[in-house]
Copies of this chain bind each other. A is one copy, B any other.
Amino acid sequence: MIKVVKNIIDMQKISLEHKLKGDKIAVVPTMGFLHEGHLSLIRKAREFTESVVTTLFVNPSQFGPNEDYNRYPRNFERDLDLCNQAGSKYLFNPEVLDMYPKGFNTSIKISGVTDKFEGEFRPGHFDGVATVVAKLFNSTLPDYAVFGQKDYQQTLLIKKLTKDLNFPIEIVIAPTIREIDGLAMSSRNTYLDIEIRKKAGVLFYALNEARKIISEGETNRLRINTSLHKALRTIPEIKIDYAASALADTLDEPESFFPGDSVVILIAAYLGKTRLIDNEIVKIPYKLNEENFIIT
């Protein structure tokens, strides 16, 4: 049966006891209101160890002043039950005032991969993420930490945080889990009203349109982006923050991509009042001549 841990020091003690026994720890940081995407992360963590810690903390410092911190969906009992079923041994659920006591004054800033896209539209967001993830790492002391690819830029941030600050942790990125129409699972999908929800598959449709023209040989970045915008605009209720392609490792945006490049297609858009993000990674194909030799 899953154990709920509220206190940071208690959590550290539990992790240290496991370590002393030679157990590995895997952590799955979440903001709760769990869906199949989160559960897939917990199951992935279970591939590494039985000592899985799911963290549930709606982190105020990663929300902007006009964002949805207060109305972010919460359901502790349901989360606990789902966590337990998915095989998490602990649910670490600290209080905001324990994480950010009076006089809290520390911020971690990671430049580069956070500058564009989400970083541009959500100023301060990634500082909040980096800082809370460092705190969650130190609270749970994991050997593995599992994050979902859906928050693609966040995965780059966390790999960088871990590398730059030398956390002795292996970062594992698990694939995005989607609804039948391709909508990436997200706790925020509950914000979508029925009529808008029916159209929310458009993000995945646009990602696939980009994937299609890339597979057909398109390498020009702006033409790929244009196909994304065109696909998204088939829905009148959409307001695009960005729909772009970039090198997957660096988020650099060259004029054209080259065969073998891993390219991430990134979308952030409002559907009605709800902001959704999604991404896919696409490999730029090698060109083959008539006898299927790679042309270099």
Footprint of B on A, CB under 8 Å?
8, 12, 16, 19-20, 22, 103-113, 130-131, 134-135, 138-139, 141, 160-161, 164-168
Contacts and interface: CB of A to CB of B under 8 A. Distances in A.
B108 A166 contact: no
A109 B107 contact: yes
Nearest to A104: B164
B106 A107 contact: no
A168 B108 contact: no
Contacts of A108: 106-109, 165
Contacts of A164: 104-106, 135
Q: Which 6 A-B pairs have the closest CB atoms?
A: A106-B164, A138-B166, A105-B112, A105-B111, A12-B168, A106-B110
Contacts of A104: 164
**Oligomer: number of copies:** 2
Contact of A109 (B109, B111, B112, B134): B109
A193 to B, nearest CB: 40
A115 B141 CA distance: 31
20 contacts: A12-B166, A19-B19, A19-B20, A20-B20, A20-B22, A103-B112, A105-B113, A106-B111, A106-B130, A107-B108, A107-B111, A108-B109, A109-B109, A134-B165, A135-B164, A135-B165, A135-B166, A138-B165, A138-B166, A139-B166
A82 to B, nearest CB: 26
Contacts of A19: 19-20
A266 to B, nearest CB: 19
Contacts of A109: 106-109
A189 to B, nearest CB: 32
A108 B167 CA distance: 14
* Most chain B beta-carbon contacts within 10 A, residue among A106, A130, A141: A106
A112 B103 CA distance: 8
A106 to B, nearest CB: 4
A46 B226 CA distance: 64
Contacts of A168: 12, 16, 138, 141
Contacts of A22: 20
